[in-house]
Structure 1
Amino acid sequence: MIVKPYSDKAFFAIGVSYEKADAETRGKFTFFPESVPDFVREAKEIGIDNFFIVSTCNRSEFYGFSENPETMMELYCKHSKGTMEEMKEVVSIKKNDEAIHHLFQVAAGLKSQILGDFEIISQIKIWFKRFKKQGSSGAFLERLINTAIQISKKIKTETTLSNGAASVSFAAVHYIMATEPAVSEKNILLYGIGKIGRNTCTNLIKHTQNDHITLINRSREKAELMTEKYDVLVKDHTELIDQLKSTDILIVATGAESPTITEEMIPYDKEMTIIDLSVPENVMHTLGSRENIQLINVDGLSKMVDDTIGSRKDAIPAAQEIIETCKTEFDEWLKTREYVPVIQSFKERLEFLQAFETKNLKKKNPQINGKETLIAEKLVQNLTNQFASYLLENRENAGETIAMMEEIFRLKQINE
């Protein structure tokens, strides 16, 4: 059950994820930050409320209130490279209570391609902040996201769901360790220093014992920050082609809309292992057809952490219990929101009566000052609080109580 802030709309979660779509298809529905302002403006124009999008390498999901899911899907497709027909083939649509529960499971890491991967919660916070800045959120969404963050924190500290090294960034290093002999002697180039790139760099330093890792990023300053923490070499973006000639292992985490590594950039006879951590894929997939190149993407990496995932599965019941507890608290808060309109109308009626009576009293007694007015305002607030408390403590009689107050104070007439 869900109490809806908008009586004519439902809360939907429209998503394309690894569960139904491969990396290439997910890439078509990747949403980029620069599209947020126009997207928010258009969404508001067609009546979508309290909404945001989260888009990662494993999932792109659109949460919000709408009259129907098709409206949300059409708008999303307009701002992606995927078509409506393609989306219908792989889309997951969840409504109201199911949509809320889904978001909580995503935030908990239960829906991650690598079970317990908590990188998703930081992405949810980042994406929500982008949309909030453009004015797309309200009290409902604020509370929903805060609850999701609370769930993530509690599961991370109170369960073993995130124990062990299992994430996309670690999986990349695990793959290298398992397939590359003498990895400490290899020339490793990490291209792209976003969040996943930084995590991958940390894991490379920690596990490979390699002291000649090279970083390249479009913004050299961002890459230079890694040298403050680790002994790595930074090269300019203009040197990428030259660096590729001597690279043994290439890790790409550029997160661009189109390939950043193409066939002509790598000599045909060059032997190389390439790991593409980007969605959409940023390495031209035809490179994988070369006999001397080993190319793997995020979907391939996710299959390499089965041992760690096995131990994490034992923590699922505890994580689900935390979700249910927080979900119950969220539902209780939603129920209180049901009474907000009538409580607000009640308060406004009292304020009107207070202002009217104060004005009449001042005509009869000009000596009345701000002290009396302050007392009257405090009385209005106290009466409003008592009304609200009564409704919450006597929900079974709330309907009758509201009807009586509406009749006594003519609240419906005021709203009209």
Structure 2
Amino acid sequence: MPKAPHNHLSFYSVGISYKKADAGMRGMFALSSTAIENLVDDAKKGRSPSLAVISTCNRTELYGFASCADDLISLLCEHSHGSAEDFQKIGNIYEGDAANRHLFLVGTGLDSQILGDFEIIGQLKMAFRRSKKIGMLNAYMERLINAVIQASKRIKTETRLSSGATSVSFASVQYILNEVEHGNEKRILLFGTGKIGRNTCENLIKHTHNKKITLINRTKDRAERVAGKFDLIVKDYAELEEEIAGTDIMIVATGAQNPTVAKNLIVTNRPLLILDLSIPRNVDMDVSELENVKLIHLDELSVMTDQALQNRNRFIPEAKEIIETIITEFDTWQESRKFAPTMLALKSKFSAFKEAEIKSNRTKINNFNQEQADVIADRIIQKIAGHFANHLRDEDVNTQEAIELLNKVFKLDAQHLVLHE
């Protein structure tokens, strides 16, 4: 089991996901960008030496080192609206190799609500980059996320798991195409132009060729930037109620922490389809009380997959084979990392032997050549150390027992056995 370089901490993945937590519960544990920053800053005050946090519509998870999982669970609960009691019912805890494997499955889209969702790897990159920037990413986790990124790239290029579009935003477009008659001719209002909103807009244009799309965002200039790319209409936030009254389909992706659309905003009796792509829910459930409104949440969209998505199941074995290859490479690095401090201490001990012998014989040998003695001794030290390293790499050798034997035989200084990052 991998240990952190400080105080024998273990690597954990703790969090909640769509698998056991419904939209309401995911909303309770959801973290805004500010909340994530505060959580990591809090962890930096002695609660974890290395931590990365991700919060998406499908999951909120912490990846990091701690003395026990409860330390990370406490951080999550303190900075979200979730409770420890709720977490016990719907939370996931992975430790050591299991945590590594879980991160690989998440990062490659195999654990996504929509199989093959490759947007998640970008969100993971951002999370780990954010931690590295403030000194909260150790060498172990940096190596791990790079391995996950490598696996994601290989799966995307070497398998057809990523064929077609894969995301919640694409699922919403698929729903319109499959369930709404003449969906490409309907008036569509997109409320919210963050990442999900932008992706939804792009998928709408690409797959429906519908140009009757209006964008509204609290910050109008952001909506205008998106609209300019596709030559769409932008309206002021103050016109939201009026625009809802004149639309056929409303897609909500505001990313707010509280509902932004409620029953009182809907003043029309005409049929209205509302697709809520947000966690927490951005559309109040009270809109369902209106007979003319049909409300669909992203959890419902995610199970309405087309044949192309179902066909992706055939490529799961290929994807997992790639993951296993890269996990094996990571495990090899991890194993070598265990004895790296011992090898450093051993070389230091040999160098001390060398210096003592040279000093002792410098005056005893006529025409003693210090430079030649250093070169020869260093080569011998390198060859002996190489033999020890090869022995420790041997898969038939119990690495920990061999390390302990070397430490005992050569009386290596215990402080050299800590690998500093």
TM-score category, normalised to shorter length: 0.7 to 0.9
**Equivalent runs, 1:17-416 vs 2, <5 Å:** 17-267=17-267, 269=269, 271-346=271-346, 386=386, 389-390=389-390, 392-394=392-394, 396=397, 402=403, 406=407, 410-412=411-413, 415=416
Q: CA deviation at 1:387?
A: 7.3
TM-score (norm: length of structure 1) = 0.86
Q: CA deviation at 1:50?
A: 2.3
**Residues 3 and 338 in structure 1, CA contact (< 8 A), matched pair in contact too:** no
Deviation per residue, 1:199-225 (Å, 9 max, x gap): 111111122222221112233333233
Q: CA deviation at 1:338?
A: 0.3
- After superposition, the Cα gap between the structure-2 partners of 1:387 and 1:200, relative to the gap in structure 1 and judged at 3 Å, is same
Distance 1:275 1:384 in 2: 67
**Residues 50 and 137 in structure 2, CA contact (< 8 A), matched pair in contact too:** yes
**Residues 254 and 260 in structure 1, CA contact (< 8 A), matched pair in contact too:** yes
Q: CA deviation at 1:22?
A: 0.8
Q: CA deviation at 1:279?
A: 0.5
Which AA in structure 1 matches 2:3?
A: K
Deviation per residue, 1:127-168 (Å, 9 max, x gap): 222222222210110011111111111111111112234421
Distance 1:20 1:400 in 2: 41
SS in 2 for 1:295: strand
| Identity, % of aligned positions | 43
| Counterpart position of 1:364 | none
- After superposition, the Cα gap between the structure-2 partners of 1:53 and 1:397, relative to the gap in structure 1 and judged at 3 Å, is closer
Which AA in structure 1 matches 2:412?
A: L
Which AA in structure 1 matches 2:2?
A: V
Distance 2:234 2:129 in 1: 31
Q: CA deviation at 1:262?
A: 2.2
Distance 1:217 1:350 in 2: 67
- After superposition, the Cα gap between the structure-2 partners of 1:40 and 1:351, relative to the gap in structure 1 and judged at 3 Å, is farther
**Residues 118 and 166 in structure 2, CA contact (< 8 A), matched pair in contact too:** no
**Residues 347 and 380 in structure 1, CA contact (< 8 A), matched pair in contact too:** no
| Counterpart position of 2:4 | 5
Which AA in structure 1 matches 2:118?
A: F
Deviation per residue, 1:152-199 (Å, 9 max, x gap): 111111111122344211111121223333333322111122222111
Q: CA deviation at 1:67?
A: 1.9
- After superposition, the Cα gap between the structure-2 partners of 1:299 and 1:393, relative to the gap in structure 1 and judged at 3 Å, is closer
- After superposition, the Cα gap between the structure-2 partners of 1:182 and 1:415, relative to the gap in structure 1 and judged at 3 Å, is closer
- After superposition, the Cα gap between the structure-2 partners of 1:261 and 1:90, relative to the gap in structure 1 and judged at 3 Å, is same
Distance 1:291 1:387 in 2: 78
Distance 1:100 1:405 in 2: 30
Q: Which moved more, 1:266-275 or 1:63-72?
A: 266-275
- After superposition, the Cα gap between the structure-2 partners of 1:248 and 1:403, relative to the gap in structure 1 and judged at 3 Å, is closer
Which AA in structure 1 matches 2:69?
A: P
Which AA in structure 2 matches 1:3?
A: P
Distance 1:382 1:236 in 2: 71
Deviation per residue, 1:317-374 (Å, 9 max, x gap): 11111111111111001001102322343466678899999999xxxxxxxxxx99x9
Unaligned runs of 5+ in 2: 361-370
Distance 2:292 2:278 in 1: 22
SS in 1 for 2:181: coil
SS in 1 for 2:2: coil
Q: Which moved more, 1:286-295 or 1:161-170?
A: 161-170
Distance 1:99 1:399 in 2: 22
Which AA in structure 1 matches 2:217?
A: N
Q: CA deviation at 1:408?
A: 7.4
Q: Which moved more, 1:348-357 or 1:261-270?
A: 348-357
| Counterpart position of 1:368 | none
TM-score (norm: length of structure 2) = 0.85
Q: CA deviation at 1:111?
A: 0.8
| Counterpart position of 1:365 | none
**Residues 344 and 416 in structure 2, CA contact (< 8 A), matched pair in contact too:** no
Which AA in structure 1 matches 2:303?
A: K
Distance 2:105 2:384 in 1: 37
- After superposition, the Cα gap between the structure-2 partners of 1:382 and 1:226, relative to the gap in structure 1 and judged at 3 Å, is farther
Which AA in structure 1 matches 2:154?
A: K
Unaligned runs of 5+ in 1: 361-370
Q: CA deviation at 1:38?
A: 2.6
